[in-house]
Structure 1
Amino acid sequence: MIRYASLSFLILFLISSSGNAQMMDAHVGPDSVSTALVPAAGYSSNEGFLGGLIFSRYDYRGNQQPFNNLLETSAIATTKGFIEVDARYEQTQTFGQNIRSIADIYFYRYTQDQFFGIGNGTTFSDAQWDDEYYFFRSIGFSFDYRIRKPIYEWGRKQLDLQLGGATEYHIPYISDAQSSFALETPNGSEGGWVNNLNTGLIWENRDSEFDPHHGNRAELELRAAPKWIGNYGLATARLELRQYFYLFDWLTVANRLEARHAMGDTPYWELSTLGNKKTLRGYPLNRFKGNTSLAYTLELRTWLLRFPQLYGLKFGGQLFTDAGRVFTETDDVNDLFEGYHQTVGFGGAMSIFNPDFILRGEIGFSEDVSRIYIGVGYMF
């Protein structure tokens, strides 16, 4: 979604419609379709004037849980050439079977992609930031398709087997000769393809996928990208753990822990990276890179104002802190307990027409810069 180190202003407009007159109720009724359209306009000191669009469509026909199918798309472009487009489509019943399918498409053209080096102790300088020393330009796209099949179900508890594949292409196309990217020439600086097959397990017992208040989610993902079907041969392993619980019947405590490891002929964009819309929010984009990463997030969420008779309108807020670090081959076991970076931040949320539709905005603060993030749904 939208994320900049410096954003002067952003204006959002919400247009929503529903095929069910009861969408203002606490639960979405069966055989209903709900859509939300959010145009955006603003200005960034880094990228100039920007325009964007967020579109979501929720199809609950057939009384499928948590939905029949879901489409989420977003697009943003700026007057200085930045472009980012992503789309996700999920179907809970695929091929007439109890198989959930997820397709993700992503395209970007970064006029200010960022590279700070590899390692947990890379430095940041305000002067070099202002001189665009850390910046380079890049283009990339990816397509990812996965299916999930339940192998164990008991009430709300469910264990799924996941299988899938993905293809992606990245290329840095302009880099100043005196930039950090050009001087360090990381592996993958010539660009190329990575094509992978993946498998994994997902454990789920949350009370909601969109606004969970209690329960857990765990995911183990293994990916293999043979060099004979791409330009790089590598493998990755990722473990993500989430936990949610209620305090005082109005405050949701959300925890997320993620560990990731990459091995093999790994290009820079496939390294374990912290400093994005999900980890160390507030740091510059791709701030820390290494073979292994460990990241933790704690969020406190609550709905502050509710207007149930006004199309289910409600406003909320969240406080968060992110922590994490990366590891390279030169680190040892003692580094596991030190060198962690931390950010803090706050944000707001709004829901209207459909309780599953949540428009979120937040700002994170780091020792380097601050950054704004906008998107649909909670971060996790």
Structure 2
Amino acid sequence: MKDIATPDGYAGLDFPWDEPPAEGEVIEVAEGVLWARLPLPMALDHVNVYFLREADGWTMVDTGFDTRRTRTILDRLRAGPLGGDPITRVFVTHHHPDHIGLAGWLQAEGAELLTTRTAWLMARMLILDEQPVPPPETQEFCRRWGMDPGVLAQRSKERPFNFADMVAPLPVGFTRIAEGDLVDLGGRRWRVARGDGHAAEHAVLFEESGDLVLGGDQLLPGISPNLGLYPTERNADPVGDWMAACTRLAPLARDDQLVLPGHKTPYRGLPTRLASLHQNHVTALNRLEAHLAEPRTGGACFAPLFKRQVTQEMYGLAFFEAIAHLQHLHLTGRALRETRDDGVWIFRAA
């Protein structure tokens, strides 16, 4: 997640709960819907998970990383607030490891996995793609976009983040959900909408004839999720995809809906938040375009995007976010790209 320089991401929102549930405990946010948190070993130190009461057990929404600590906490939740009943279904909003990490473990116990085709394929492919060091094509991608040479040299010798480190193996087979589908979870009917930008084909569920929204990372309060450009799809436009998704989801949003996000706390005021999530990137792009009055590499574009100093631990997310914004300006004709003698790209305002 990024700490991008934006207006107050909480403005105009209503938060029914002042505090999140303690570790191993839950808060009932609606009849038969429980909110819990699982820890993450990073600056954003938690992921929200939700449990929806079924006739024969529970549906779990997102799962956290696959770690010994997370499995232990989930076992405590099952023995305690879940009343010893099984998790029979797992709905995963998108393929990122803090959301799909334990899905395969739960499938091995008999749970059904529901997610989008892109989410399942991406997660399964990345689990199998274990890398001891970044491959040459990744290093060249980062070099060409202007990663700091010292950072690149260090990263080239280190094991990168691997899905296999935090995501349980996914068995063959899942239940596909797609945009426009109606699915029944927890005694409620939900319409599937599609997010994009942060994760391809990110599923957002809107309760039919109700006021709940399962928002994952597409609808976070306070922060905007990371929109990164990566060597897996080097011609992508995640920022453009994100803004298009905000526009696409806006007609489904109402002020009375209770949004259950993947991080932070549940809130109401979704129309306001969607407008803010879109506008945050409009203004960020405008600042970046002004920054390109002088030619810059991707690694020299942090200042107009981030409101605090980028530390070493945050450098990777910041770099891929910055070049995603440069990519959007380039693809939309607002920035020109040239190649230096050393092969590194430099950008200037058109």
> Do they fold alike, i.e. is TM over 0.5?
no
As a proportion of its length, which structure holds more helix?
2
Structure ranking higher on relative contact order (CA contacts 8 Å, 6+ apart): 2
TM-score by length of 1: 0.24
As a proportion of its length, which structure holds more strand?
1
